[in-house]
């Protein structure tokens, strides 16, 4: 058995069904021989995104896997890996490496050294006998504690060397190891939570990966806790729930802004509480309880009054038991629900002129509003792209249950959403999988729409085409006035048609809803679809970084 066959055998034993890959590596042939379907992308960063989207929707069970050639293949994958690392996505990366004789010789690119800063671990298989141990360690790191990309480099001269089949046959799937919080830490947090007059929950992606949405809902309903989700945690708590305040990142909903501003305690669940330009800061003067499975996240961004180290689902069960013991019965005060509803109505009322606008070019908020009116959130998986689509969608789109929305952006390369949604369609073929992107984002990765067409993955891409870089309006005033530096151009509908997809260009705001319906039917018929909406240059955002 060759080393690459041993790797494919391990992947199969771990339940891997798909291998995202580009452009060539002997791992592709070995995987295909083992019954693992290769998904060939058009460029490496999108291929990483496909594996990333798959892993998010499946909560890392199994992880997403991406294989690439040495040198330029690994170099081009860097942006996608950086995005996965910033969002702690469980990915297994299998780059080829240069021959061991040339390892470390400049200017040859070393994946192990160069990608170490954006992976949880990076290991090279130095001899054939090491392959099983290296794969076992990689899988263990993907399943224990805080996740993130894990890399196993396969030197080109070692890839086809022989390894003892008996050694490979000894491989067993690696268990996931979870831990509860220290009971004293849980008690301390419960006391603080019950003493708070205006507590707010911030739920992160750790709630999603732990499969803890039901437990979060149970605690929130028991204590009538209003819940905000982070960008990566969006959909961890259904935003159709009466206690949902929506999401908060670089922009936020009106109810999230008001409750976070007025809170006296913040319970951060499954979140690193990182200080970052794409994360809403916690206003000063709040008590903070942090629940995380990574000790490195505790008090990383803020002083905390209590911290619990453990799996979000197990800790939520402990917290619920602790507060029940102290209260002796359900707390049914529903005044907070009425307040949330009132705030949401007032906030949305102020935005209705944009959400329902009949102006031409089409207001992008009208597209989002019509999408919500025509698509039930639990029937879809939706993601944004960088820039305006993210700022416009995050506050207003009301996600359904877990993984009905893929939020991302701490490392926010334009065009990432396309790969994510292709991977989401692999993971949940029954869902309508939709990525919203701008024209600048399409320019970065749009040719990988052909990957969806060729791979029989009927996604829906919605392009908000305003023919400009709107986010840069204020920072590029002079250069644009003199040289038109923000201007972009293109007919993306025609490009999608040329790539074999179904596509329409929409300029009439009254046709937005019907066009979404037509595109959905096209995906149900098995065709990758693209809607290009000709939109205006919208610069209004909801509560953009109001606290810092």
Read off the tokens for 292.
């995380």
- The mean pLDDT of 7-32, rounded to a whole number, is 97
Q: Tell me what pLDDT residue 70 has.
A: 94
- The mean pLDDT of 98-122, rounded to a whole number, is 94
- The mean pLDDT of 225-241, rounded to a whole number, is 97
Q: Is 211 exposed, middle or buried (0-12, 13-18, 19+ CB in 10 A)?
A: middle
Asked if residue 532 lies in contact with residue 359, where contact means CB atoms within 8 angstroms, the answer is no
Q: Taking the alpha carbons of 202, 205, 206, 208 in that order, is the dihedral positive or negative?
A: positive
Task: Work out the pLDDT band at 331, boundaries 50, 70, 90.
Answer: low
- The mean pLDDT of 30-52, rounded to a whole number, is 98
Q: Tell me what pLDDT residue 297 has.
A: 96
- The mean pLDDT of 283-311, rounded to a whole number, is 97
- The mean pLDDT of 485-513, rounded to a whole number, is 96
Q: Beta strand pairing status for 380-383 and 432-438?
A: parallel
Per residue in 53-95, pLDDT (tens digit) is 999 999 999 999 999 999 999 999 999 999 999 999 999 999 9
- The mean pLDDT of 185-214, rounded to a whole number, is 97
**Residue 493 pLDDT > 80, yes or no?**
yes
Secondary structure of residue 304 in the 3-state scheme: coil
Task: Work out the pLDDT band at 332, boundaries 50, 70, 90.
Answer: low
Distance CA 326, CA 180 (A): 20
DSSP 400: -
% the chain with pLDDT above 70: 99
Q: Pick the closest to residue 44 from 55, 52, 56, 36 (CA basis).
A: 52
Domains detected in the chain = 3-169 (3.40.50.970), 183-334 (3.40.50.1220), 356-534 (3.40.50.970)
- Burial letters 224-259, b for 16+ CB under 10 A, else e: bbbbbbbbbbbbbbbbebbbbbbbbbbbbbbbbbbb
Residues whose CB falls within 8 Å of the CB of residue 284, separated by 6 or more in sequence, listed in order: none
**Residue 509 pLDDT > 80, yes or no?**
yes
Rg of the chain (C-alpha set): 24
% the chain with pLDDT above 90: 91
Q: Tell me what pLDDT residue 548 has.
A: 67
- The mean pLDDT of 169-173, rounded to a whole number, is 95
Give first-to-last CA distance, the chain, whole Å.
58
Q: Tell me what pLDDT residue 330 has.
A: 61
Instruction: Name residue 266's beta-bridge partners.
Output: 200, 288
Q: Tell me what pLDDT residue 47 has.
A: 98
pTM of the model: 0.96
Task: Assign 3-class secondary structure to 185-234.
Answer: HHHHHHHHHHHCCCEEEEECHHHHHCCCHHHHHHHHHHHCCCEEECCCCC
Distance CA 87, CA 64 (A): 14
Q: Tell me what pLDDT residue 95 has.
A: 98
Read off the tokens for 91.
């990915």
Read off the tokens for 208.
């999603």
Residues 33, 39, 42: CA angle, nearest 5 degrees: 135
The per-residue pLDDT of the chain, averaged, comes to 95
Name the residue with higher pLDDT: 233 or 471. 233
- The mean pLDDT of 97-113, rounded to a whole number, is 92
Per residue in 380-431, pLDDT (tens digit) is 999 999 989 999 999 999 999 999 999 998 887 999 999 999 999 999 999 9
DSSP 481: H
Q: Tell me what pLDDT residue 545 has.
A: 79
**Residue 470 pLDDT > 90, yes or no?**
no
Distance CA 82, CA 79 (A): 5
**Residue 254 pLDDT > 80, yes or no?**
yes
- The mean pLDDT of 441-460, rounded to a whole number, is 97
Per residue in 351-365, pLDDT (tens digit) is 999 999 999 999 999
Secondary structure of residue 457 in the 3-state scheme: coil
The CA-based dihedral angle spanning residues 450, 451, 454, 457, taken in that order and rounded to the nearest 10 degrees: -110
């Amino acid at each position: 058995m060759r080393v690459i066959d041993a790797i494919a055998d391990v992947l199969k034993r771990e339940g891997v069904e798909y291998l995202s890959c580009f452009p060539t590596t002997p791992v592709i042939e070995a995987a295909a021989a083992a019954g693992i379907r290769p998904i060939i992308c058009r460029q490496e960063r999108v291929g990483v995104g496909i594996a990333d989207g798959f892993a998010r929707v499946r909560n890392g069970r199994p992880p997403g896997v991406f294989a690439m050639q040495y040198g330029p293949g690994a170099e081009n994958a860097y942006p996608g890996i950086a995005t996965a690392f910033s969002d702690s996505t469980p990915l297994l990366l299998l780059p080829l490496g240069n021959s061991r004789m040339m390892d470390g010789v400049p200017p040859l690119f070393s994946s192990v050294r160069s990608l170490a800063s954006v992976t949880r671990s990076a290991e090279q298989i130095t001899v054939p006998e090491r392959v099983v141990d290296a794969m076992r360690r990689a899988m263990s790191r993907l399943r224990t504690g805080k996740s993130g990309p894990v890399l196993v480099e396969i030197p080109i001269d070692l890839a086809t060397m022989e390894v003892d089949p008996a050694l490979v046959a000894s491989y067993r799937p690696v268990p996931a190891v979870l831990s509860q919080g220290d009971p004293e830490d849980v008690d301390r947090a419960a006391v603080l939570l019950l003493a708070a007059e205006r507590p707010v929950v911030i739920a992160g992606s750790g709630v999603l990966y732990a499969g803890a949405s039901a437990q979060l809902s149970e605690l929130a309903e028991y204590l009538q806790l209003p819940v905000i989700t982070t960008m990566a945690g969006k959909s961890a708590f259904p935003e159709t729930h009466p206690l949902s305040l929506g999401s908060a990142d670089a922009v936020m909903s009106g109810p999230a802004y008001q409750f976070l501003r007025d809170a006296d305690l913040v319970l951060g669940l499954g979140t690193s509480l990182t200080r970052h330009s794409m994360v809403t800061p916690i206003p000063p003067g709040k008590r903070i309880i942090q629940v995380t499975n990574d000790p490195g996240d505790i008090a990383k961004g803020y002083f905390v009054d209590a911290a619990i180290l453990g799996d979000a689902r197990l800790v939520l069960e402990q917290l619920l038991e602790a507060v029940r013991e102290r209260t002796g019965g359900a707390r049914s005060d529903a005044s907070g629900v009425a307040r949330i509803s009132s705030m949401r109505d007032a906030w949305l009322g102020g935005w209705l002129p944009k959400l329902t606008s009949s102006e031409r070019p089409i207001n992008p908020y009208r597209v989002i509003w019509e999408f919500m009116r025509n698509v039930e959130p639990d029937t879809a998986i939706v993601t944004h792209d960088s820039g305006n689509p993210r700022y416009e969608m995050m506050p207003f789109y009301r996600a359904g249950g877990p993984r009905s929305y893929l939020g991302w952006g701490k490392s926010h390369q334009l065009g990432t959403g396309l790969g994510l949604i292709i991977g989401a369609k692999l993971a949940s073929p029954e869902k309508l999988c939709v990525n919203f992107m701008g024209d600048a984002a399409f320019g970065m990765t749009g040719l990988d729409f052909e990957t969806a067409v060729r791979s029989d993955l009927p996604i829906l891409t919605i392009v908000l085409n305003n023919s400009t870089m709107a986010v840069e309006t204020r920072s590029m005033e002079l250069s644009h006035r003199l040289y038109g530096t923000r201007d972009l151009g293109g007919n993306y509908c025609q490009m999608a048609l040329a790539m074999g997809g179904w596509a329409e260009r929409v300029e009439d705001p009254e046709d937005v809803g019907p066009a979404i319906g037509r595109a959905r039917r096209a995906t149900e018929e098995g065709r990758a679809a693209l809607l290009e909406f000709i939109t205006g240059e919208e610069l209004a955002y909801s509560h953009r970084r109001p606290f810092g």
